[in-house]
Amino acid sequence: MYIVLGTLFTACTGPVTPEEPVIPPVEEDTTRVDTATVVVSPTTRPELYRPQVHYTPHHNWSNDPNGLFYKDGVWNLYYQFNPNGIECDFGGMSWGHASSTDLMHWQEKSPVLYPDGMGAMYSGCSVVDKDNRAGFGNGAVLAYYTASGEKQVICLAISTDGGETFWKYEHNPIVPSTGLVNFRDPKVVYDPHRGRWTMMVAKGWDLGIEIWHSYNLMQWDFDGIFRVNTERCNMSQWECCDLLYFEQADKWVAVVSINPNGYITGSSTMYFVGSFDGVTFTPDADDYPRWLDYGADCYAGVTFDNAPDGRKVMIAWMNNWDYAPACPPSAWKSAYTLPRELSLKQMGGHWVLCSTPVSELDKIASAWHDAATGMENIGGDYADAWEAKITLSLANDATITLSNKYGNEYVIRVNAQQRIIYCDRGGRTGEFNFSTLFAVPSMSAPIEGNEQYLTLDIVVDQSSVELFAGEGSTCFTNTVYPRSIYRNITVDGIVTEMKVRTLETIWKP
Ligand code: FRU
């Protein structure tokens, strides 16, 4: 059922049933060229697929976000980076760097950590040492990184200039080596109940997370290992992790990225709600794993240290190990998700870890426009990115179609009775045959709680669609490679409210 809204409305294309990927007939998009060298003019966009409201390094390969911290008004994002090229070169892995004062506009900086005799610079975290517990000065930034050589060890690098440059601690490794080949991706969090820091270290194919603690951020003592016995969680390597304390709920949440065999394919992120006594993390229930995001492209997400007002702001890698090296962009490879605010909510009798775009998104957004049940040509021919908010009655099924004039489509279906959301990231979405694992026509996830209305918040960029449904309790983050951004949206269902706004580019060519 739909209401026609003047010329903004486009006819609904009807339900899409999961099927083998098909290549849509496409015309050449003559306004788009895949090169970083073309000068931007108001009518041409220089690079096909370059995200306009998501951070990407100008050039080269990148993966996991690393060492996120906030200090003195600046948000710092480091990430796995190949300074020398577009290939995923594990031996040359370094820490790239970008910073932002508003979580939206990022300035790319020089990389801060390069490989050394102990190995490549794999993932890790940062802590702002406000009270000089470690002895490098008030406000020194301590980066705990993985040196990945023959085996993996946890090392320390220090910055006293707000994270612009780091030097490596002379007595590395900082955590006594356990001799494990897989011992990586440390995440250090403050434990307010015990007045000390906890370090989580992922054990890769050895499964589980090691828990350590320290009172001075320098001497670390081993507490134990968090792992679960469910086969679903143990078919994959345990990688980047986080531990979050939600004060109002008095709950701890362990977040663990796993790869391969994720929820959809390849890489996914699990979470466990439970209690933590400073030594042992115990999940509340045995209905794990629960998934932070049901799409294919939200991996290795971690939160910022020292975020103001106790905010839990996460950024994840918007790609998947199943196909990241093969994905189409040729100057850069991998973008990062929008920064997301994490919260823990009771829904339908259990705690759900919810993610929503940070409110800073408003700073790059136009006013909202009512859209009835659809809108065409959003943002005009030179659309940067846009967002739609749709409230549906769950008395009926609904189909939401995002499309462009080249016949590319991304379809979201809501099965109201079964309370399931489906996303079709199949062959109609755009370029897909760079990997046999990319096209997944039918991704599905439950609608949490018992509400009779569902609000979908959809952020569309040049090569991604992020869906935050039900206050962020069901999320799908997917990359897509259409010939131009999807500019049209139609909804077939009972829409009680729908509005659209455009998002202004943050990209500086
Ligand atoms: C996760 C990961 C980490 C590792 C890094 C290497 O994506 O495999 O476990 O530290 O990437 O780049």
CATH number for 389? 2.60.120.560
CATH code, domain with 286: 2.115.10.20
Q: Is any ligand 1 atom within 6 A of the Cβ of residue 185?
A: yes
* pLDDT recorded at residue 381: 79
Residue 257 alpha carbon, nearest atom of ligand 1:
1
Ligand 1 pocket residue status of 316, Cβ below 6 Å: no
Atom of ligand 1 nearest to the CA of 80: 12
- The residue from 298, 321, 347 where one domain ends is 347
Beta carbons within 8 Å of 219's beta carbon, 6+ residues apart: none
Ligand 1 atom with least separation from CA of 202: 9
pLDDT at 31: 41
The two tokens of residue 502 are 């455009």
Q: Among 320, 347, 374, identify where a domain stops.
A: 347
122 Cα–ligand 1 center, Å: 6
Asked if the peptide bond before residue 25 counts as cis, ω within 30 degrees of 0, the response is no
* 237, 92: one domain: yes
Rounded distance between C-alpha atoms, residue 378 and residue 109, angstroms: 33
Q: CA-to-CA distance for 255 and 231, rounded, in angstroms?
A: 17
For 176, other C-beta atoms within 10 Å of its C-beta total 13
β-bridge partners, 4: none
Question: Does 274 share its domain with 381?
Answer: no
Residues found in the chain: 509
Condensed to tens digits (0 to 9), the pLDDT of residues 20-79 reads 444 343 333 434 333 333 333 445 678 999 999 999 999 999 999 999 999 999 999 999
Residue 361: what pLDDT?
Answer: 98
User: How much distance in Å is there from the Cα of 411 to the middle of ligand 1?
Assistant: 31
Q: How far is CA 458 from CA 5, 175, 439, 472, in A?
A: 20, 42, 20, 11
Is 232 found in the same domain as 373?
no
Residue 145, domain extent: 2-17+35-347
Residue 378's SS3 state is coil
The answer as to whether 50 is a domain residue is yes
| CB atoms inside a 10 Å sphere around CB 52 | 21
Q: Which atom of ligand 1 is nearest the CA belonging to 239?
A: 9
- Number of the ligand 1 atom closest to the C-alpha atom of 317: 7
CB 479 within 8 Å of CB 325: no
What positions carry a catalytic annotation? 64
In a domain, 30, yes or no: no
CA distances from 9 to 329, 370, 376, 454 (A): 32, 12, 6, 22
Specify the amino acid at residue 83. P
Ligand 1 close to Cβ of residue 66 (< 6 A): no
Residue 354 domain-assigned (yes or no): no
Ligand 1, from 62, 79, 80: best to mutate by most atoms within 8 Å of Cβ? 80
- Do residues 139 and 128 make contact, with C-beta atoms less than 8 angstroms apart? yes
The residue contributing the CA closest to ligand 1 atom 6 is 122
**193 in a structural domain:** yes
* CB 128, CB 305: distance < 8 Å: yes
Phi-psi sector, 310: left (phi>0), alpha (psi -120 to 50), beta:
left
Q: Is the CB of 425 under 6 A from ligand 1?
A: no
Ligand 1 midpoint to CA 294 (Å): 20
pLDDT for 179 equals 80
Together in a domain, 295 and 411: no
240 lines ligand 1 (CB under 6 A): yes
Q: Which atom from ligand 1 is nearest to the alpha carbon of 64?
A: 7
What pLDDT was estimated at residue 44? 62
CB-based contacts of 396: which residues, under 8 Å, 6+ apart?
Answer: 1, 416, 493, 494
Evaluate whether residue 336 is within a structural domain: yes
**Is 249 strand, coil or helix?**
coil
Residue 272 lies in a domain: yes
Report CA(482)–ligand 1 centroid distance (Å).
Answer: 28
Domain boundary among 314, 347, 380: 347
Whether residues 313 and 378 share a domain: the answer is no
Pocket of ligand 1 contains residue 187 by CB under 6 Å? no
Are residue 85 and residue 219 in the same domain, yes or no?
yes
Cis peptide upstream of residue 441 (ω within 30 degrees of 0): no
CA 422 to chain centre: 19
| Distance in Å, CA 277 to ligand 1 centroid | 28
Which residues share a beta bridge with 119?
116
Give distance in angstroms: CA of 327 to centre of ligand 1: 18
Amino acid letter at 197? W
Domain match, 327 and 376 both: no
Number of Cα atoms under 13 Å in the Cβ half of residue 441: 11
Q: Give SS3 for 194.
A: coil
* Beta carbon of 122 within 6 Å of any ligand 1 atom: yes
Q: Are residues 192 and 52 in the same domain?
A: yes
Q: Is the CB of 228 under 6 A from ligand 1?
A: no
Whether ligand 1 lies within 6 angstroms of the CB of 166 is answered as no
First vs last C-alpha separation in the chain: 43
Q: What is the best residue among 81, 89, 122, 317 to mutate for testing ligand 1's pocket, by most ligand atoms within 8 Å of CB?
A: 122
Task: Compute the Cα dihedral for 41, 31, 59, 294 and give only its sign.
Answer: positive
Domain tally for the chain? Answer: 2
Tokens matching residue 198: 């906890």
DSSP H or E segment with residue 78? strand 74-81
Asked if the structure places residue 227 within a domain, the reply is: yes
Q: Scanning the structure block, which residue is given the tokens 């820490």?
A: 95
297 close to ligand 1 (CB < 6 Angstrom): no
AA letter at 386: W
Q: Is the CB of 184 under 6 A from ligand 1?
A: yes
Q: How far is the CA of 55 from the centre of ligand 1 (A)?
A: 19
So what's the pLDDT on residue 422? 98
Tokens of 303: 């939160």
DSSP secondary structure letter of residue 134: S
For 276-330, the three-class secondary structure string (H helix, E strand, C coil) is ECCCCEEECCCCCCEECCCCCCCEEEEECECCHHHCCEEEEEECCCCCHHHCCCC
Ligand 1 centroid–CA 138 distance in Å is 31
408 with 342, same domain: the answer is no
Query: Hey, what's the torsion of the CAs at 226, 229, 230, 236, to 10 degrees?
Result: 60
- Please say whether the beta carbons of 97 and 335 come within 8 A: no
Average pLDDT, the chain: 91
Domain identity same for 107 and 195? yes
The answer on 400 and 258 residing in a single domain is no
Instruction: Give me the tens of pLDDT residue by residue for the chain, a chain 509 residues long.
Output: 333 332 222 222 233 333 444 434 333 343 433 333 333 344 567 899 999 999 999 999 999 999 999 999 999 999 999 999 999 999 999 999 999 999 999 999 999 999 999 999 999 999 999 999 999 999 999 999 999 999 999 999 999 999 999 999 999 999 977 788 899 999 999 999 999 999 999 999 999 999 999 999 999 999 999 999 999 999 999 999 999 999 999 999 999 999 999 999 999 999 999 999 999 999 998 788 999 999 999 999 999 999 999 999 999 999 999 999 999 999 999 999 999 999 999 999 999 999 999 999 999 999 999 999 999 999 987 889 999 999 999 999 999 999 999 999 999 999 999 999 999 999 999 999 999 999 999 999 999 999 999 999 999 999 999 999 999 999 999 999 999 999 999 999 999 999 999 999 999 88
Pocket test for ligand 1, best of 183, 207, 238, 240 (most atoms within 8 A of CB): 240
Residues 228, 122, single domain; the answer is yes
In a domain, 466, yes or no: yes
Question: Would you say 324 and 334 are in contact if contact means Cβ atoms under 8 Å apart?
Answer: yes
CA of 148, closest atom in ligand 1: 10
| Ligand 1 within 6 A of CB of 152 | no
Does the predicted TM-score (pTM) go above 0.85?
yes
- What is the spatial order of strands in the sheet that 60-71 belongs to? 107-113, 94-100, 74-81, 60-71, 332-333
Centre a 10 Å sphere on the Cβ of residue 41 and count the other Cβ atoms it contains: 9
pLDDT number for residue 382: 83
CB of residue 79 inside a 6 A radius of ligand 1:
no
Alpha-carbon distance of 361 to 144, in angstroms, equals: 30
pLDDT number for residue 13: 29
